[in-house]
Amino acid sequence: MTDCVFCRIVDGDEPAEQVYRDDWAIGIVPRNPVVPGHQIAIPQIHADDFTTSWLATSNAMRAAFQMARILDQPCNLITSKGHEATQSVFHLHVHLIPRVAGDGLALPWGPR
Amino acid sequence: MTDCVFCRIVDGDEPAEQVYRDDWAIGIVPRNPVVPGHQIAIPQIHADDFTTSWLATSNAMRAAFQMARILDQPCNLITSKGHEATQSVFHLHVHLIPRVAGDGLALPWGPR
């Protein structure tokens, strides 16, 4: 079995709360959501990060686009390349973070 | 002339420091970069945010992918929908933020 936790989730070998699936990507609830509604889009093919393969990145982003349209509220998409950028699982994933006024969540340019 | 500042930049009617261009998107340095190397990818067709049009989002994300490969260092991609999510220009744009250890930049899950 693969060492990659997101490949195992895609393959059904590791449990996850799945909120979206198409032929190229899945959407799950992360283990430690930062706010209610926090979801992550994961391409079904393995790629280490969003700079590895345009096919994998496009597949994950299209899923995140669909998930954001279903969410239908203010939100951020965030993806990371490298430890220094806070990446901890080295299978490309895109965070979808619902936002509400005064939620206090920070971005590099500070909270709203 | 359009009211949209990013449409004016795409059309060459407003100055900007352009760092990338393909047939579908441009990359510029924002007016207030949060760190050296901060860039934004902007689709040439107008879309209010990343949930408006998959074509516009895909075009911007592909440019951001190329810009990140040129940057070739740890980084985040961030895009926002809505005031509550810190969006201030309502023409879809994707931030590319270079990251280094200890830079102190925050994300919703805190600084690294």
Instruction: Read off the pLDDT of residues B47-106 as tens digits, 9 standing for 90 and up.
Output: 999 999 999 999 999 999 999 999 999 999 999 999 999 999 999 999 999 999 999 999
pTM, two decimal places: 0.96
Tens of pLDDT, residue by residue over A12-44, are 999 999 999 999 999 999 999 999 999 999 999
**Per-residue exposure over A55-90, b if at least 16 CB sit within 10 Å of its own CB, e if not:** ebbbbbbbbbbbbbeebeebbbbbbbbbebbbbeeb
Return the SS3 of A55.
helix
How many CA atoms does the CB half-sphere of B54 hold within 13 Å?
12
- B87 chain-A contacts, CB cut-off 8 A: 74
- B54 chain-A contacts, CB cut-off 8 A: 62, 65
**Cβ contact, residue pair A78, B83, below 8 Å:** no
**What is the pLDDT tens value at each position of chain A, 112 positions in all?**
789 999 999 999 999 999 999 999 999 999 999 999 999 999 999 999 999 999 999 999 999 999 999 999 999 999 999 999 999 999 999 999 999 999 999 999 976 5
**Is the distance from CB of B92 to CB of B48 less than 8 angstroms?**
yes
Size of interface A-B (CB pairs under 8 A): 134
Residue closest to B77 by CA, chosen among A93, A47, A27: A93
